[in-house]
Amino acid sequence: METLWFIILVVMLATYIVLDGYDFGAGIVHFLVANNEAERKAVTNAIGPFWDANEVWLIAAGGVLFFAFPTLYASSFSGFYLPLMLVLWLLIFRAVGLELRGQVHNRLWERLWDRAFGMASLLLALFFGAALGNVVRGVNLGVVENGVAQQEAPYFFLPLWNPTFDPLAEHQGIIDWFTLVLGLVSVITLTIHGANWIILKSNSTINRRLRPLIFKLNGVLLFLVLLSAALWYYVKPIAFTNLEEHFWLWIFPIIGLTGLIGQFNIKRFKRDGTGFVCSSLFIVGSFGTTAASMYPVLLPSTNSVSPSLTIYNASANEYGLTVGLVWFIIAAVLVIVYFIIQFRVFKGKLDELDYGGH
């Protein structure tokens, strides 16, 4: 049952990254690529009907984490308190930027909220990538100093950075050179993903610049993926043990590689949705590879005193997991039906939607 809930959690997080990821990427495109009001309008129209619904998956994933793995929930929300507060404020500013921009038709007002929306999207992509870096790197559970735990085994606390900026230091920080690399991978990945969504949902002039931009960014992404894999192996030499022992798990790297290679053909795609499929495959394959490599560990311990949090020592009891599965299935069906209806209502290009015009 623990493995089933681990799979459910991974699927929900992957769904969130794919869906809200294109929102973040569109925000980055809006901030750095869109040149005029028409192009900025095309970007907000492309995500307008979807962005708030997509965030439901983050809330739902947090609920699953709270229910199925309460020890991990308690540990993470205490140890990652500072970045979680930053993420919360960035999500607020991103939403406020979208909703308040059209309330006053003044250039200064509109540029202010454009910046808020774009910067929040960029920083969210960076922070979520860094968060994944912290999880795969591990943390000092129990705050062990000189072989003695200063707190109970599941708990820890991390500052935003440490003086050495070293992921292998005894006292780590949220930001170091390893987590920054994964943050950059996240920013590039979601920028490409958002650009593909804009191409899918608009006929704007910005599309002509997005295709060559995606091609160039994909080359950077390929380099960063290879670099991050090598750095992960350096930081965690046992990182790929599961892949070595269970060859069927290579389906995830293959899916990710298929999407990554496919994006190099962005200029030749005849259908606007093909690029979005490729970037979605890369996200799902990459995140699946990470989860498969870590299983059954949820949060590694970087010391030998406190054990890592796994699906077994961090989960709720068997009865609770079994009963919860029934209610999860009911809720999942309702959410899926809602999303099917939403995507059918807002299918096709959305250039005439006029989202945010008050």
Residue 332 is assigned to a structural domain of this protein: yes
Q: Does 232 or 147 have the greater pLDDT score?
A: 232
What is the C-alpha separation between 353 and 346, in angstroms, rounded? Answer: 9
Element spanning 298, H or E = strand 297-299
**Which pLDDT score is estimated for 356?**
65
- pLDDT tens column, 47-69: 989 988 999 999 999 999 999 99
For the chain, how many structural domains are there in total? Answer: 1
CA atoms within 13 A on the CB side of 87: 19
Q: What six digits make up the tokens of 329?
A: 């299935």
Residue 12 is assigned to a structural domain of this protein: yes
Element spanning 67, H or E = helix 56-68
Residue 220 is assigned to a structural domain of this protein: yes
Please say whether the beta carbons of 140 and 124 come within 8 A: no
pLDDT (average), residues 314-319: 92
pLDDT (average), residues 143-166: 85
pLDDT (average), residues 115-129: 95
- pLDDT tens column, 246-288: 999 999 999 999 999 999 999 889 899 999 999 999 999 999 9
**Which pLDDT score is estimated for 17?**
96
Q: How many CB atoms lie within 10 A of CB 234?
A: 12
**Which pLDDT score is estimated for 23?**
94
To the nearest whole percent, how much of the chain has pLDDT over 90? 71
Residue 147: is its pLDDT beyond 90? no
Residue 110 is assigned to a structural domain of this protein: yes
Residue 352 is assigned to a structural domain of this protein: no
What is the domain extent for residue 275? 2-345
Residues 6 or more apart whose CB falls under 8 angstroms from that of 219 comprise: 264
* Short-list 2, 57, 17, 1, CA closest to 290: 17
- pLDDT tens column, 105-121: 888 888 999 999 999 99
Residue 357 is assigned to a structural domain of this protein: no
Residue 350 is assigned to a structural domain of this protein: no
**Which pLDDT score is estimated for 358?**
47
